[in-house]
Chain A
């Protein structure tokens, strides 16, 4: 089985600053995928970024990047130049087959103007 741990229940960041949201994972499978999702107060989960276990480079998608440290089993999300609209819950998830996904408990991010 896989497991995701997100140890930051809440984070605050000043507008235009960068912020790192932590995610550690546990899996015995050498092949896995890591996903980050954003859930605004409206409730709908939005896909942000993906990192595969065999990817040589850290994933980037616009202002989102993933600090992937395989040996430490961490996949931290970095949001650069924070905007007020980034205020939301952020969830890290893992799958090894695409059939079943395991999500963490999430981090609530608040961007301060």
Chain B
């Protein structure tokens, strides 16, 4: 159980275009999902916390108009990188918590990540 699917796994786009990344919890409902960014051989940096039915909570320094997050259902959160530029190229990873599992409520289940390359 506790499978998180992230799509696409790899995307190449031209500078100025927008890219949408989907994160789905396949076998559980996730009221909260998280979006991270990871540079090569670096740690994961939390970008924002996505809350179902309400606005996302962005970490300091993350532009909310640049990285649009929508969490319209209990199983789907999307991250849209708007007007992407080469400096947005990175590995984006989502995660979700299954808050129905008391013993595992603090554990995050991760998607496989999306590698974004902006030309």
A and B: partners? Answer: no
Chain B positions near chain A (C-beta within 8 angstroms) = none
Chain A positions near chain B (C-beta within 8 angstroms) = none
